[in-house]
Amino acid sequence: MTDTAPMDIPPATQVTLPDGRVELAPGTPPPGGPYANADLLPVPVAGRTWTTYNFSALWVGMAHNTASWTLASGLIAVGMDWKQAVFTIALANLIVLVPMLLTGHAGPKYGIPFPVFARASFGVRGANLPAVVRALVACGWFGIQTWIGGEAIYFLAGKLIGEGWSGAAEFGGHAWTMWLSFGLFWLLQVAIILRGMETLRRFENWAAPFVLVGAFVMLWWMSEKAGGFGPLFDQPSELGWGADFWTVFAPALMGMIGFWSTLSLNIPDFTRYGQSQRAQTRGQALGLPTTMTLFAFLSVLVTSGSQAVYGEPVWDPVQLAAKTDSVAGLLFALVTVLVATLSVNIAANLVSPAFDFSHIAPRRISFRTGALVTCVLAVLICPWKLYSDPEGYIFTWLGLVGGLLGTVAGILVADYWVLRRARLDLVDLYRRSGRYWYGRGWNWRAVAAFAVGGVLAIGGADFHPLVDGRPVPALAPLADYGWAVGLGTSTLLYLALMLPRRESLSRSRRPRRPSEPSPPPSRP
């Protein structure tokens, strides 16, 4: 293999603004050819308009959702008390914020989405590997969230309509009305995303505070049922603070990190619209750890209260809300759950895989087509199985996702910050003749680091309830630390393989200032 390829597309030029942001030079033709389309090209600086509030609202909307609720309440269900659960989730979100900010930096600076950002390390063609892996994970998430939204419609409508709805004939292990509810919620999300990113931004701005109010209403309702806040705080830990707790803590922490590990990769899909680095940094730092911890606090208190009231923790908020006899309360709960699920599912699990699938064949698959592909695959993954129990949800699904995507995050961070010092050539990201072509469009070093890191991260994991057994039993001791193992292994291995080529990487073409003449095309 060689690290160059014949030049086939006349290059555009790029300029660096005084604030450090880079864009294609105004008036020059944008990159064309088989590796570019309108959805993948850099967002012009004039189009990067998201403020700190927009990013904070985005995170509030994504953090305050039913899956986040079950994430925290699931820890109560496996034996933690409220202090242990909140501590685990707060620590996880502080940890995952670091790669989130590091990968998000490329968005406001270059205006590029995640699949294009991955081309710098994996190659113009090779970026399809992390893009497809991330997209398939997002399909799983989209399916889980859609199932939750459908479940909300089914349970709460059943309380209003009666036995004719909730006692309908079963098909495939669930009432046909449950499948109908799932389909209706699926169609609603498709309708919203087809209207574009601006519609999403406006939706997130009002959905975020609405969902937060709904969570406080549920806390007030549960405290009334429990006879005050005392029983909510008094539920003891079944694990204590000894060996039993720390045995559960490690995989639970990795699962919590895995919950947002998808966003730690594809956050450039959103930060590319940021008006500055300060907007995305402050917006994410204010939005993610604070709101996620607050929502976790609310959810564990409510779940602890359900344990005091009903004798066992009700970790699913939809089933908990269905226990109320108030029609007004049911309608409010239904709207809150639907808004919360729509907020996170469209933003976190539909926008990014739509870009990822578009990246596979840019000339044939648009953003909207990619979104439809995501919606179809989300059903084929059978999300009702992934969401069947809290242990499988936290320790299997989230653990596997975190381990695999942590491996990709390590490669991206090492390449962008250590090897390239945050300097990219926009034009070369879209053409065969550039420095990111490597060998036939693939950087085998990144693929090797991904493969080794992935095997070590998830090879020893227990795949139940998806399948029985561990693929590589000898790696079982690493399974509880999948995200950290994948991130650390891929980072070190990628740097070891790429450092001999660092001199050629450092010769990256410096983006010119607006007042400078256009440079001639260069070859790596």
Q: Are the CB atoms for 52 and 282 separated by under 8 Å?
A: yes
User: Could you tell me which of 411, 413, 403 has the C-alpha nearest to residue 486?
Assistant: 403
Helices 444-458/399-413 angle, 10° precision: 150
Q: CA 356, CA 116: separation in Å to the nearest integer?
A: 9
Compute how many other C-beta atoms are within 10 angstroms of the C-beta atom of residue 259.
24
Out of 249-263, 387-401, 429-443, the most confident range is 429-443
> Cα 27 to chain center, whole Å?
35
pLDDT for 466 equals: 56
Mean pLDDT of the chain, nearest integer: 80
Per-residue pLDDT band at 496 (split at 50, 70, 90): very high
Show Cβ contacts of residue 457 under 8 Å, excluding neighbours closer than 6 positions: 403, 404, 406, 407, 478, 482, 483, 485, 486, 489
User: What is the percentage of the chain residues whose pLDDT exceeds 70?
Assistant: 83
How large is the average pLDDT for residues 224-233? 71
Show Cβ contacts of residue 482 under 8 Å, excluding neighbours closer than 6 positions: 254, 258, 399, 400, 402, 403, 404, 406, 457, 458, 461
How large is the average pLDDT for residues 98-117? 94
Q: CA 82, CA 73: separation in Å to the nearest integer?
A: 9
Q: CA 430, CA 437: separation in Å to the nearest integer?
A: 9
How large is the average pLDDT for residues 216-223? 80
Per-residue pLDDT band at 10 (split at 50, 70, 90): very low
Q: Are the CB atoms for 265 and 114 separated by under 8 Å?
A: yes
Q: CA 75, CA 297: separation in Å to the nearest integer?
A: 12
Per-residue pLDDT band at 256 (split at 50, 70, 90): confident
How large is the average pLDDT for residues 375-384? 84
Length of the chain: 524
Per-residue pLDDT band at 467 (split at 50, 70, 90): low
Q: pLDDT tens digits for 178-203?
A: 999 999 989 888 887 777 555 556 66
Residue 407 or residue 471, greater confidence: 407
Q: Are the CB atoms for 287 and 60 separated by under 8 Å?
A: yes
Q: CA 138, CA 350: separation in Å to the nearest integer?
A: 7
Sole residue written with tokens 């049911």: 330
Compute CA distances 330 → 51, 165, 318, 321, 327, whole Å. 35, 15, 10, 7, 5
pLDDT beyond 60 at 140: yes
Q: CA 140, CA 143: separation in Å to the nearest integer?
A: 5
**pTM for this model (two decimals):** 0.79
C-alpha atoms less than 13 angstroms from C-alpha of 64 in its C-beta half-sphere: 29
Q: Are the CB atoms for 314 and 323 separated by under 8 Å?
A: yes
> Cα 196 to chain center, whole Å?
19
How large is the average pLDDT for residues 169-183? 89
Sign of CA dihedral 256, 259, 262, 266: negative
Q: Which phi-psi region, left, alpha or beta, contains residue 397 (left: φ > 0; alpha: ψ -120 to 50)?
A: alpha
pLDDT for 520 equals: 42
Sign of CA dihedral 149, 152, 155, 160: negative
Compute how many other C-beta atoms are within 10 angstroms of the C-beta atom of residue 319.
13
pLDDT for 522 equals: 36
Q: Are the CB atoms for 48 and 273 separated by under 8 Å?
A: yes
Residue 303 or residue 514, greater confidence: 303
Q: pLDDT tens digits for 414-433?
A: 999 999 999 999 999 998 87
Q: Are the CB atoms for 140 and 453 separated by under 8 Å?
A: no
How large is the average pLDDT for residues 88-105? 91
Q: pLDDT tens digits for 357-379?
A: 888 888 788 878 888 888 888 88
Q: Which of helix, strand or coil describes residue 47?
A: helix
